[in-house]
């Protein structure tokens, strides 16, 4: 079942010989890495939007070492329990979570605005439909998705409502209040606890909150792992160089990751 939508005319795309094409003959070739670019130039606000190549490589190295495996496992268990057929992962990045999600669903689409991230993701799992695209125009058909997931990514509410089937689900993962608190204390003079419930207030008119869970992942990081973690977060460019250098000089670093997982249902 083809769920992809042409970003120009919004008609359904069909795949023939490694080219996605709509009835108006707009066409999009599958790249040799195995993804399709549906982020058309008229929707772009910068030449290379999304994460930098350095951030993507740091994230791949850090996540593949298993530090956030408790979250990956929790996400997979929730998807399994909901009996999902068609899943759209918004902001899939380099694919660590999307790859694991795919085994529990019939069809899995991973979309991200960063082409360099999707290029890396596409090498992970050929069963996922990997797409370069924007949340402002999610490249899937109306009411075609059973679950949208957004892990540490934007939540384009109106577009999510458009693509979800009636009574379908939205999974949001965001930092819990104490997420990486010690690291943030080391990098910044003032640190505020994260407020995960701001998303609940934004969504409450259109979604019912079914579940919420806090998932903890205590870590003991090597110096290189700590550098990868800093490089994959916005803290890499927000922190003062002096504070970042002091932290990165540590050979061993104990740290707690803490995630808030929400399951919503479309009203």
Structure tokens at 52: 């930098």
Pairing of strands 14-16, 145-151: unpaired
Q: Is 77 annotated as a binding residue?
A: no
Q: For residues 93 and 117, give the distance between their C-alpha atoms in angstroms, rounded to a whole number.
A: 5
22 assigned to a ligand binding site: yes
Q: Is 54 annotated as a binding residue?
A: no
C-alpha 34: how far from chain center: 18
Q: Which contiguous run of DSSP H or E holds residue 202?
A: helix 198-203
Contact (Cβ atoms closer than 8 angstroms) between residue 149 and residue 90:
yes
102 in Cβ contact with 128 (< 8 Å): yes
> Is 228 assigned to a binding site?
no
Q: Is 148 flagged in the annotation as binding?
A: no
Whether residue 92 is annotated as binding a ligand: the answer is no
9 is in an annotated binding site: yes
Q: Kindly state the tokens that stand for 95.
A: 């694919």
Give the integer Cα–Cα distance in Å for 38 and 29: 9
CA dist 112 and 133 (Å) reads: 6
Alpha helices in 14-114 (DSSP H): 53-64, 69-82, 96-102
Q: What is the dihedral of CA 49, 50, 51, 53, to 10 degrees?
A: -40
DSSP code of residue 86: E
Distance CA 16, CA 246 (A): 54
**CA atoms within 13 A of residue 133's CA, in its CB half-sphere:** 27
Contact at 8 Å (CB) between 100 and 149? no
| Binding residue ranges for S-adenosyl-L-methionine | 68, 94-95, 179
| Binding residue ranges for Zn(2+) | 6, 9, 22, 26
| Binding residue ranges | 6, 9, 22, 26, 68, 94-95, 179
């Amino acid at each position: 079942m083809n769920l992809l939508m042409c970003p120009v005319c919004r008609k359904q795309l069909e795949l023939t010989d490694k080219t996605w094409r709509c009835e108006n003959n707009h066409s999009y070739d599958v790249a040799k890495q195995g993804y399709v670019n549906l982020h058309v130039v008229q929707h772009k606000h910068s030449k290379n939007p999304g994460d930098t190549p350095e951030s993507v490589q740091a994230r791949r190295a850090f996540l593949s070492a298993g530090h956030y495996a408790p979250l990956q496992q929790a996400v997979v268990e929730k998807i399994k329990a909901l009996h999902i057929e068609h899943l759209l992962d918004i902001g899939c990045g380099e694919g660590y979570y999307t790859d694991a999600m795919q085994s529990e669903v019939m069809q899995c689409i991973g979309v991200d605005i960063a082409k360099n991230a999707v290029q890396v993701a596409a090498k992970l799992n050929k069963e996922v439909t990997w797409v370069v695209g924007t949340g402002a125009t999610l490249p899937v058909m109306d009411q075609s998705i059973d679950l949208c997931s957004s892990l540490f990514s934007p939540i384009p509410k109106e577009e999510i409502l458009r693509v979800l089937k009636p009574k379908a689900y939205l999974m949001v993962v965001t930092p819990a209040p104490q997420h990486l608190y010690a690291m943030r204390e080391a990098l910044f003079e003032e640190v505020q606890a994260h407020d995960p419930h701001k998303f609940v207030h934004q969504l409450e008119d259109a979604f019912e909150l079914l579940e919420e869970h806090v998932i903890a992942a205590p870590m003991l990081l090597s110096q290189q792992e700590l550098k990868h973690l800093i490089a994959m977060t916005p803290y890499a460019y927000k922190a003062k160089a002096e504070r970042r250098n002091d932290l990165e000089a540590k050979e061993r670093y104990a740290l707690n990751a803490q995630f808030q997982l929400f399951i919503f249902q479309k009203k």
